[in-house]
Amino acid sequence: MTNQNVTLNTQQKSFAQALFNAYQTKQPLKRADWEGVVTDDETAYAVQDCVAQLKQLPTGGYKVSLTSQQTQDMFDADSPLYGQQVDSHFLPSPAVLSLKRQTMAPLLEVELGFRATEDLLPSDSLDDLRHKTTVCGTLELPDCRFADWFPDLNKYCVMSDCAVGGYVVYGSERPADEVFSTVDDAANVSATLYHDGQKEATGQSSEVLGNPFKSLQWLVGKLAAQGKRFRAGQLVSSGTFLLPPHLTAGKWEAKFDHGFGDVVVNVND
């Protein structure tokens, strides 16, 4: 069964509407009000689809979450999950964001982004994906429609809430097959995160399912199983290199190697 075949009950439809309302108003939901409403993956993705439809905005791409053993353990999961992202929430670096006006309870993640140069297919090998994408550094800003959500929110609420999608700030894009001579090269990208010039953490792309191309391949396959397709022009932020800190005001900067350069977001109160 795919999420397209799931019929939401009245309470689940109300949950989707509540998530959308919180997205619009920036007024957080209480977990206790919605616990037990969604109890399986496919229903959670069906709620997510409903939320995405309520937004009435183009899907610019996706985010993949839970791409390390540590984050899967935190949310009692045994696989990644994805969230649909509206086009307007992908921002080129350097970006400026307001905590009060544009976010609710954001974190910050250092990732690689892949944009499809043609439709991606579930039959594509990792090397096919290398030839069919551009790649860039990203700062993803996960955000949630629930108060006090990290790291205790139920996995099904995370999935329903578009995988707690917020914004994705992306750097310069280059053909992935020019950046990486082989698929294995994508497992060796390093990035260091700075806040107001102070080093916060360093992470490696190998934290993302061993190789970020595997995250992309997982997403393409998952979408296909649900009757969807990763289309040309769409971008995915593929999974974090490091455990995310809470986003606070100031200048956040990720410095990547492999010629990716810097990705910057300036955050105001």
CA distance 54 to 258: 39
Cβ–Cβ < 8 Å for 163, 65: yes
Q: Does domain 57-267 have CATH number 3.60.130.10?
A: no
pLDDT band at 1 (very low <50, low <70, confident <90, very high): very low
CA distance 37 to 62: 24
pLDDT band at 230 (very low <50, low <70, confident <90, very high): very high
Q: Is the pTM of this model over 0.85?
A: yes
How far lies 210's CA from each of 69, 123, 147, in Å?
A: 10, 20, 32
pLDDT band at 2 (very low <50, low <70, confident <90, very high): very low
Give the 3-state secondary structure percentages of the chain, helix then strand then coil, rounded to 5: 35, 30, 35
* Run of H or E residues at 95: strand 95-98
Structural domain boundaries in the chain: 57-267
CA distance 137 to 221: 23
User: What average pLDDT does this structure show over 44-48?
Assistant: 98
Tens digits of residue pLDDT in 147-176? 989 988 999 999 999 999 999 999 999 999
End-to-end CA distance of the chain: 44
* pLDDT reported for residue 75: 83
Give me 209's structure tokens: 């399912």
More confident residue, 4 or 184: 184
How far lies 231's CA from each of 115, 118, 143, 146, 228, in Å?
A: 9, 7, 24, 30, 9
Tens digits of residue pLDDT in 171-221? 999 999 999 999 999 999 999 999 999 999 999 999 999 999 999 999 999
* DSSP conformation letters of 96-159: EEEHHHH-SS-B-EEEEEEEESS-B-TT--HHHHHHTEEEEEEEEE---SBTT-TTTS-HHHHH
* Run of H or E residues at 52: helix 41-55
Q: Strands 90-92, 167-170: parallel, antiparallel or unpaired by DSSP?
A: parallel
pLDDT band at 3 (very low <50, low <70, confident <90, very high): low
Among 244, 256, 254, 251, which residue's Cα sits nearest to residue 266? 251
CA distance 15 to 83: 16
Give me 246's structure tokens: 């809470």
